[in-house]
């Protein structure tokens, strides 16, 4: 039995550069893992099974965990049945990358359980086939990501920082947010300048997906304004939403139909999982 934590992420900044002919968007984003975790239990067994503590999560082939198992088997040509149990804590349709993180955690776990047939570089290269955010979760927790999100530039850890995640009960489907994006209307910014800002201690948080996300869910903009009025700093959309992250010492006051989570930046050591 192998038990591993599966972290969430925030995008400290997320710049959309252009729409690609394949329908995806070219982006440049500083991704950071946070210590809001799911937990996965893996056991080699007689037959495949996936169970989950959250009945609203599909446990069939639609779950990215199975996509990771299939990909690992296909690439390594190994055959093995595996039991997986997923303890879900990361809210879904939140822009926190929970499903992608579970897939990355599964690739790492299977590689361990099978005696490390693949290098971390191979796992990273394969993982882009599962989804755009999966590769990030095979980094050490702080990365500048480009392409669809799957091209990694690993960075040293940023100073440990506490933050709040504020999540409306309603979620946002990623593809719907991207479909509502008008790339020509975005503010021109050079993501390399944004990155240098973070690395030199002059952070500027932003997310180009806020415009379409706020259009689809107007109450998200009201929530951002409310948090800013309460004194929270840099209230920014996580990924494609619907959660926001912000900085402040006290817990956000209770907001109807919203949940808040305290979190911190988290990184893993070179040869260890989170
Ligand atoms: O890659 P993934 O399956 O996570 O992407 C989900 C959806 O988000 C895609 O189908 C696409 O509509 C959108 N997307 C995009 N550009 C990206 C990443 C995702 O348009 N860089």
Distance of CA 29 to the CA centre of its chain: 12
Helix residue ranges per DSSP H, 134-189: 174-179
Report how far ligand 1's centroid is from the alpha carbon of 232 (Å).
30
Tokens standing for residue 37: 């975790």
Cβ of 256 closer than 6 Å to ligand 1, yes or no, is no
Report how far ligand 1's centroid is from the alpha carbon of 90 (Å).
19
Tens of pLDDT, residues 208-251: 999 999 999 999 999 999 999 999 999 999 999 999 999 999 99
Return the pLDDT at 169. Answer: 96
Tokens standing for residue 13: 């900044």
Tens of pLDDT, residues 54-102: 999 999 999 999 999 999 999 999 999 999 999 999 999 999 999 999 9
> C-alpha distances in angstroms, 272 versus 1, 88, 243, 245, 267?
17, 22, 29, 27, 10
Name residues whose C-beta falls within 8 Å of residue 196's C-beta, 6 or more positions apart in sequence: none
Report which of 170, 37, 34 is spatially closest to residue 94, judged by C-alpha positions.
170
Q: Is 133 annotated as catalytic?
A: yes
Q: Quick one: angle between helices 120-127 and 64-76, nearest 10?
A: 120
Tens of pLDDT, residues 123-174: 999 999 999 999 999 999 999 999 999 999 999 999 989 999 999 999 999 9
Region 186-204 average pLDDT: 95
Distance CA 70, CA 88 (A): 21
Distance CA 75, CA 236 (A): 38
Distance CA 125, CA 102 (A): 17
The helix (H) or strand (E) run that includes residue 113 is helix 98-113
> C-alpha distances in angstroms, 134 versus 138, 213, 227, 272?
7, 22, 30, 17
Tokens standing for residue 139: 């980094």
Radius of gyration of the CA atoms of the chain, in A: 18
Return the pLDDT at 59. Answer: 98
Return the pLDDT at 265. Answer: 98
Which of 14, 25, 177, 180 maximizes ligand 1 atoms within 8 Å of its Cβ, making it the mutation to test the pocket? 25
Distance CA 68, CA 182 (A): 32
Q: Is the dihedral of CA 249, 250, 251, 254 positive or negative?
A: negative
């Amino acid at each position: 039995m192998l038990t591993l934590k599966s972290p969430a992420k925030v995008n400290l900044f997320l710049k959309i550069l252009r729409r690609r002919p394949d329908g995806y968007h070219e982006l440049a984003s500083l991704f950071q893992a946070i210590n809001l975790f799911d937990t996965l239990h893996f056991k080699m067994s007689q037959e495949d099974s996936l169970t989950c503590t959250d009945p609203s999560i599909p446990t069939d082939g639609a779950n990215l965990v199975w996509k990771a198992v299939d990909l690992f088997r296909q690439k390594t040509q190994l055959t093995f049945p595996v039991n997986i149990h997923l303890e879900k804590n990361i809210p879904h349709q939140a822009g926190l990358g929970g499903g992608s993180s579970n897939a990355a955690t599964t690739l790492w776990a299977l590689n361990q359980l099978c005696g490390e047939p693949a290098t971390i570089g191979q796992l990273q290269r394969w993982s882009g086939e599962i989804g755009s955010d999966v590769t990030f979760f095979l980094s050490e927790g702080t990365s500048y990501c480009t392409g669809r999100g799957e091209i990694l530039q690993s960075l040293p850890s940023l100073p440990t920082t506490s933050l709040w995640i504020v999540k409306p009960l309603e979620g946002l489907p990623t593809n719907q947010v991207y479909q509502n994006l008008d790339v020509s209307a975005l503010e021109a910014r050079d993501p390399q300048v944004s990155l240098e800002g973070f690395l030199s201690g002059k952070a500027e948080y932003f997310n180009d997906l806020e415009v379409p996300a706020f259009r689809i869910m107007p109450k998200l903009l009201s929530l951002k304004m409310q948090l800013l009025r309460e004194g929270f700093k840099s209230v920014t959309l996580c990924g494609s939403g619907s959660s926001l992250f912000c900085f402040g010492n006290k817990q956000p006051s209770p907001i109807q139909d919203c949940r808040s989570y305290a979190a911190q930046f988290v990184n893993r050591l070179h040869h260890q999982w989170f």
